[in-house]
Structure 1
């Protein structure tokens, strides 16, 4: 695993969960960041965790505004961290917030977009680039779509294998009991990103090489990054190896 030099200066990390998850997925990471003298904030995106907004009505803009509001409430610059689906959320939020507010974007096994991409388009592009050597993409074949095509969820029988096969049994139980449905509209919405704003914010990628949801090697190269790190982890390193994850977080200058 490649490392950057550790910077002892205070940082604020805004942690954004992926699809079907909530702020709860960062429970092991937050105290580790705080122990190193940093500020760490995790929010529930609309319709997730403790947020009760009706799922069928939620848009990508709702997600983005939740991030923007929390970010603007913080003093100084922030590092935006997005897991999985939240890669598109932090990207669009960064476009609104600008480089004066966003010190860096950190993509944790996440969807890394260009202008005009939607999450669905990135999934399709990723699947087209998988080779015989790629890890089998278990996620797509285990997504169940509601009859009204407004929400989806993951097959419960496969969720542990897809997200956290290398995690402790207690962490698997914790996560599986909290996974929720996901609104489809945010996943189908194209992003509006510019070279002048999004393009100048430093980006870092953490590729989880043992993830069973989908091999994201292609995504780690889709947009130029300052650094691409690798973790021999499932899609949930915040459970399986939080210390190594935090080591990467705090090594970003």
Structure 2
């Protein structure tokens, strides 16, 4: 596991990337948080970034244990930030670490689960809650499974439109060159969460209102959140508007 770390006084943010991505997606965010006196750690989930030796056999526990280890390496409490798929990861991580270690959970256009829900179940629920006025989701129809159905990828011809339509051409090229396959098992695994642990940790949702992958409005209501913020961004505000994203992140206790 590779971590990008900035040691400064202030709050400690652990940033967890979504499916097909890596710690690289936080490259603009970490120095901005550092400049505000915080500590920012962009965690590389197993099977992503430079760790691609084993992908098809990875589990949700592998993801969670990587974030738990990173969190326990820090002195004091942490704020867990999850983008997209990583909403599942930070939720299960928070259940394992407890409210003494996790100050809050921040979901960036992410999957916000209740006990017993998997990412796949949340996708199905979200699709059912779309209204005629909802933005048409494009991600589901552009996911390509591997022949053995252990991993999947995003249609490379559509990835820029789905994830980065408001990002610079430079950022689009940077991201498209790094997107990898994603193991299926973590996406299909239900989380195990309790009211006494996960339920008491404050939750915040950052809804990207211009996201083209899938309208997350329903997901922002799936669990009680202390506040739902809105950014007029694609699914990738860490590229398109990192300053505004950090304004929100740094304002959350």
TM above 0.5, yes or no, is yes
Q: TM-score under structure 2 normalisation?
A: 0.96
CA distance in 1, matches of 2:193, 2:13: 22
Residues 107 and 205 in structure 1, CA contact (< 8 A), matched pair in contact too: yes
Residue in structure 2 matched with residue 186 of structure 1 by the alignment: 186
Distance of 1:183 and 1:97 partners within structure 2 = 24
Q: Give the 4+ runs in structure 1 shifted more than 6 A.
A: none
Aligned to 1:129: 129
* Paired position in structure 2 for 1:78: 78
**Distance in 2 (alpha carbons) for counterparts of 1:134 and 1:127:** 10
Equivalent runs, 1:168-179 vs 2, <5 Å: 168-179=168-179
For residues 134 and 207 of structure 1, what CA distance do their matches in structure 2 show? 14
Q: Are 2:228 and 1:224 equivalent residues in the alignment?
A: no
Query: Where does residue 140 of structure 2 map in the other structure?
Result: 140
Query: C-alpha separation between the residues in 2 aligned to 1:75 and 1:83?
Result: 24
- 1:18 aligns to what? 18
Matched, 1:64 2:64: yes
C-alpha displacement of 1:43: 1.3
User: Which structure 2 segments of 5+ residues have no match?
Assistant: 1-8
1:205 aligned counterpart, secondary structure: strand
Q: CA deviation at 1:131?
A: 1.1
Partner of 2:6: none
> Is the 1:64–1:90 contact (alpha carbons within 8 Å) kept by the matching residues of 2?
yes
Name 2:50's counterpart in structure 1. Answer: 50
Deviations 1:187-241 (A, max 9, x none): 0000000000000000000000000000000000000000000000000000000
- The separation in 2 between residues aligned to 1:178 and 1:132, in whole angstroms, is 34
Whether the 8 Å contact between 1:46 and 1:53 is mirrored in structure 2 is no
Report the aligned-residue RMSD: 0.7
Counterpart check, 1:116 vs 2:116: yes
Q: Secondary structure at the match of 1:157?
A: coil
State how far apart, in whole Å, the 2-side matches of 1:40 and 1:182 are.
24
Give the structure 2 partner of residue 6 of structure 1. Answer: none
Question: What's 2:39 paired with?
Answer: 39
Q: Unaligned stretches of 5+ in structure 1?
A: 1-8
Q: Helix, strand or coil: the match of 1:55?
A: coil
State the Cα distance separating 1:51 from its structure 2 match.
1.5
Determine whether 1:199 maps to 2:199: yes
RCO higher in structure (CA 8 A, sep ≥6): 1
Identify the residue that residue 3 of structure 2 maps to in structure 1.
none
Q: Quote the offset at 1:52 in angstroms.
A: 2.9
1:86-97 to structure 2, matched below 5 A, reads 86-97=86-97
Q: What is the distance in 2 between the residues matched to 1:246 and 1:133?
A: 30
1:63-88 CA distance string (max 9 Å, x none)? 00000000000000100000000000
Matches within 5 A, 1:161-172: 161-172=161-172
